[in-house]
Amino acid sequence: MMQLIWNGIIVGSFYALVALGYSMVYGIIKLLNFAHGDIYMLGAFVGFFTLSSFGISNETSIPLLLVVLLLSMVTTGLIGVGIERIAYRPLRRSPRLAVLITAIGVSFTLEYGVRQIFGPNPEAFPIRLESSGFEVAGVRVTASQLVLVIIAAALMLVLAHIVERTRQGRAMRAIALDPQGAQLMGVNVDRVISTVFFIGSALAGAAGVMAGAYYGSIDFLMGFIIGLKAFTAAVIGGIGNLYGAMLGGLLLGLLESFGAAWFGGEWRDVFSFAFLILFLTFKPTGLLGARVVERM
């Protein structure tokens, strides 16, 4: 039971990290960025590429994991900024459907680009989590699992601080509410949107590296399902809402962990997407969405 919760929290924190970028991008430019899951995949592959270039494999060093994590975050962050610049910005004034289709195109480009370079078969991630650990309240916890969860939590705290307390964060929220109004405050909307793409993509890249280490293997389609899961998490929490994305990610991780234990692993995805449909039907604003009073 406690073990299921712990596993749910670990997987849930990956979902939350990816869902945050999904939700932030939706919040600021109202785009469902279907390519976001593929940034997570890129994060894993950047880590894989860097480590294998140095001939590293089967490593369990936590400091090394942190270095690779940071490197992947910066790389995927920049890739995210580039994608927005090249693919989405020229369509800022186009119909939503055009941008949505572009996002799907970007997704395929990233997936099959990586397939061209690294091939279609799964690769073993060069860093593993060591399996020795300790028991707390009947739960097997390894040091590196703990590190993963702490990093994820720290990243989310930093993000919450940026969005809630800093000048850039205020600008992000202002654009989400009224882009033209934000422009009248002197906000350089293009630059703030770039920042959002950087942060969101860096978080997804971080999750990709963590997932590589956690699951042990990566492949070019690994971003597809997690993209859908992150979308589900964002919807459960209330899309556009940061805390909603965090909560939604954790809840989804827990749901899957229990669902898989009770009904069998093959039911995991059915479980998540059934929840997506339930929420979209009965509470499309999610758990934390639209709870704000607004006077028209």
Partner 1 sequence: MTTLEVADVEVYYGRVHALRKLSFTVGEGEIVCLLGNNGAGKSTTMNLLSGLVRPKSGRVTWDGMDLATAKPWDIVASGLIHVPEGRRIFSTMTVHENLLLGGYTVRDRRAVDERIERVYELMPRLAERRRQQGGTLSGGEQQMVAIGRAIVGGPKLLLLDEPSMGLAPLVVKQVMEIVAAINAQGTTVLLVEQNARAALKIAHRAYVVETGSTTLSGPAAELARDARVVEAYLGS
Give every CB contact of residue 130 below 8 A, 6+ residues apart in sequence: 60, 142, 143, 144
Binds partner 1 (CB under 8 A): choice among 89, 115, 170, 283: 170
| Residue 171 binding partner 1, by CB under 8 A | yes
Binding range to partner 1, per CB under 8 A, among 67-75, 180-188, 226-234, 268-276:
180-188
- x/- letters, 274..293, toward partner 1 (CB under 8 A): ------------------xx
- x/- letters, 182..201, toward partner 1 (CB under 8 A): xxxxxxx-------------
b/e sequence 67-95, b meaning 16+ C-beta within 10 Å: ebbebbbebbbebbbebbeebbeebeeee
Binds partner 1 (CB under 8 A): choice among 90, 105, 150, 178: 178
Binding range to partner 1, per CB under 8 A, among 34-42, 87-95, 181-189, 257-265:
181-189
Q: How far apart are CA 122 and CA 112, in angstroms?
A: 14
| Residue 180 binding partner 1, by CB under 8 A | yes
Give residue 279's identity as a one-letter amino acid code.
F
- Give whichever of 133 and 179 is closer to partner 1, judged by the CB atom: 179
| Residue 130 binding partner 1, by CB under 8 A | no
Q: Which H or E run includes 123?
A: strand 123-124
- Give whichever of 187 and 276 is closer to partner 1, judged by the CB atom: 187
In the numeric block, which tokens belong to residue 281? 């039907």
Number of shown-chain residues binding partner 1 (CB under 8 A): 20
| Residue 85 binding partner 1, by CB under 8 A | no
- Give whichever of 141 and 287 is closer to partner 1, judged by the CB atom: 287
Binds partner 1 (CB under 8 A): choice among 106, 156, 174, 239: 174
Please give the distance of CA 250 from its chain centroid, rounded to a whole number: 12
Binds partner 1 (CB under 8 A): choice among 173, 217, 273, 287: 173
Cβ count near 236 (within 10 Å): 30
Binding range to partner 1, per CB under 8 A, among 104-112, 145-153, 169-177, 243-251:
169-177
Q: Is 34 exposed, middle or buried (0-12, 13-18, 19+ CB in 10 A)?
A: buried
Please give the distance of CA 216 from its chain centroid, rounded to a whole number: 18
Long-range contacts of 60-65 (CB under 8 A, 24+ apart): 60/127, 60/128, 60/129, 60/130, 60/144, 61/127, 62/143, 62/144, 62/147, 64/127, 65/127, 65/144, 65/147, 65/209, 65/213
| Residue 94 binding partner 1, by CB under 8 A | no
Least Å from the CB of residue 285 to partner 1: 14
Applying CB under 8 A, which residues contact partner 1?
167, 170-171, 173-174, 177-178, 180-188, 292-295
